[in-house]
């Protein structure tokens, strides 16, 4: 596989007919180093955001040793790709058979739960194991996040104290976790949730060994530029220091999006233009699920050897399938003269983008190609690390 510096070299030389996923290992590595060095605790990568084995390896090399998994499929992928990694099973509703396989075959000792039913399942499936880390998931608000995760999981306050007390009897190490929703736009999302944690600890008087603030750390997208990640880390650390927990208690987080959003982009081709609708060869059943279903906007660039000097205009996309729902409203910003046959790069698709692909209607991707230029947007400074470009084709 030949590496290219950027989308342009690839489009010019290969003229790909199907979309191509462009991967930027240096960007994911930079994100991993950032969390490892700056988050005041342990960072678990939430695998569901993007389970690509090549990404798992980059994050491992960047110092991420713990992985938040949510299904037996994710357990198997991580276990095969990174046999030394520590996995934490953070889905609060699991099949007993899955808990059993995770514990006995893959050495998973950390589980989350939000009900007495689940506690009983974990106890039975691990045959009364005494080396478990159990984290009780609290229900918290998603009001500061672009994507809500507030209704599905989390223990209700009326049974919380009992759940904490009974879990304490089973757990070796005992924690509290929550999830503020994805793409949290302010540190207040975490500090308000940690107030709930404080109340729960005081009301139940249980000893807590782990506080896990979950995922939700933002990335940069058009129209969504969050404050620096350091401000989130500082606010979390301050609240953590103030909780009624022991000196040796650990602080964890579970970033998905923030670690991988910059890792991938997609090179697509315009197959038809109708007004300001562009018919492209990737869409809602490919990497653009969130663009279609929740109106997420991604940065776009025209990939043409001779740069266009036309003014910028707003476009919508249609994907390649025959389904009306395969429509991405945008707006996506491109030069006004974009036309059939042009290539476009759509950026920031490393989280919940390429991971959502289906093969519906026979449309898929052609290839994954490593590029060394910078992602279109970033929450990390570009000076941190430069990739090795010695064997890269430059155009
Ligand atoms: C989805 C999820 C994450 C990752 O969320 P991001 O918004 O991608 O950071 C972390 N923890 C849990 C339990 C999740 O369900």
CA 348 to ligand 1 centroid distance, Å: 17
Give the mutation target among 44, 182, 219 for probing the ligand 1 site: most ligand atoms within 8 A of CB: 182
Name the residue at shortest CA distance from atom 5 of ligand 1: 215
- Per-residue pLDDT of 287-340, as tens digits, reads 999 999 999 999 999 999 999 999 999 999 999 999 999 999 999 999 999 999
For the segment 98-123, the average pLDDT, to the nearest whole number, is 98
Q: Is the beta carbon of 179 within 6 A of some atom in ligand 1?
A: yes
pLDDT recorded at residue 249: 97
**Residue 364 pLDDT > 90, yes or no?**
no
pLDDT recorded at residue 385: 41
Q: What CATH architecture applies to the domain 3-23+263-393?
A: Beta Barrel (2.40)
CA 306 to ligand 1 centroid distance, Å: 41
Domain 25-260 carries which CATH code?
A: 3.20.20.10
Instruction: pLDDT band for 388, please (50, 70, 90 cuts).
Output: very low
Mean pLDDT, all residues of the chain: 93
Instruction: pLDDT band for 394, please (50, 70, 90 cuts).
Output: very low
Q: Is the beta carbon of 88 within 6 A of some atom in ligand 1?
A: no
**Residue 391 pLDDT > 80, yes or no?**
no
Q: Is the beta carbon of 255 within 6 A of some atom in ligand 1?
A: yes
CA 145 to ligand 1 centroid distance, Å: 12
pLDDT, greater one: 142 or 75? 75
Q: Is the beta carbon of 90 within 6 A of some atom in ligand 1?
A: yes
Q: Is the beta carbon of 74 within 6 A of some atom in ligand 1?
A: no
Ligand 1: nearest atom to the Cα of 255: 9
Q: Where are the alpha helices (DSSP H) in the chain?
A: 7-14, 25-38, 53-61, 72-81, 96-106, 116-125, 157-170, 188-204, 229-241, 257-260, 289-293
**Residue 395 pLDDT > 80, yes or no?**
no
pLDDT recorded at residue 145: 85
Q: Is the beta carbon of 214 within 6 A of some atom in ligand 1?
A: yes
Q: What does pTM read for this prediction?
A: 0.94
Per domain, the residue ranges of the chain are 3-23+263-393, 25-260
For the segment 262-277, the average pLDDT, to the nearest whole number, is 98
Question: Can 3-23+263-393 and 25-260 be said to share one CATH topology?
Answer: no
CA 178 to ligand 1 centroid distance, Å: 10
For the segment 222-248, the average pLDDT, to the nearest whole number, is 95
For the segment 350-365, the average pLDDT, to the nearest whole number, is 90
**Residue 357 pLDDT > 70, yes or no?**
yes
**Residue 390 pLDDT > 50, yes or no?**
no
């Amino acid at each position: 596989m030949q590496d290219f510096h950027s989308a342009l070299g690839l489009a010019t030389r290969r003229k790909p007919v199907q979309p191509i996923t462009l991967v930027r290992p240096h960007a994911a590595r930079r994100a991993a180093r950032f969390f490892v060095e700056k988050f005041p605790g342990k960072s678990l990568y939430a695998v569901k955001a993007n389970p690509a084995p090549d990404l798992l390896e980059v994050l491992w090399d960047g110092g991420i040793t713990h992985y938040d998994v949510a299904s037996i499929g994710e357990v198997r992928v991580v276990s095969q790709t990174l046999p030394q990694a520590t996995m934490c099973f953070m889905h609060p509703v699991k099949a007993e058979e899955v808990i059993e396989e995770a514990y006995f075959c893959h050495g998973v000792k950390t589980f989350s739960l939000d009900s007495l039913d689940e506690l009983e399942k974990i106890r039975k499936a691990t045959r009364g194991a005494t080396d478990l880390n159990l984290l009780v998931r609290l229900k918290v608000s998603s009001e500061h996040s672009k994507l809500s995760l507030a209704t599905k999981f989390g223990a209700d306050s009326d049974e919380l104290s009992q759940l904490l007390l009974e879990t304490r009897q089973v757990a070796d190490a005992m924690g509290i976790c929550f999830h503020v929703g994805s793409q949290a736009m302010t540190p207040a999302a975490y500090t308000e949730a940690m107030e709930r944690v404080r109340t729960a600890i005081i009301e139940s008087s249980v000893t807590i060994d782990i506080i896990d603030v979950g995922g939700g750390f933002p990335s940069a997208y058009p129209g969504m530029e969050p404050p620096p990640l350091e401000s989130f880390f500082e606010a979390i650390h301050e609240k953590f220091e103030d909780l009624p927990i022991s000196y040796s208690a650990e602080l964890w987080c579970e970033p998905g999006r923030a670690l991988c959003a910059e890792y991938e982009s997609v090179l697509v081709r315009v197959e038809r233009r109708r007004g300001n609708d562009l018919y492209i060869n990737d869409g809602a059943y490919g990497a653009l699920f969130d663009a279609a279903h929740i109106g997420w906007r991604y940065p776009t660039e025209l990939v043409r050897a001779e740069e266009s000097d036309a003014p910028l205009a707003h476009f919508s996309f249609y994907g390649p399938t025959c389904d009306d729902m395969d429509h991405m409203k945008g707006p996506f910003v491109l030069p006004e003269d974009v036309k059939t046959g042009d290539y476009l790069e759509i950026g920031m698709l490393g989280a919940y983008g390429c991971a959502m692909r289906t093969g519906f209607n026979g449309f898929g991707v052609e290839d994954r190609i490593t590029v060394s230029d910078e992602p279109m947007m970033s929450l990390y400074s570009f000076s941190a690390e430069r990739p090795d470009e010695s064997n890269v084709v430059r155009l």
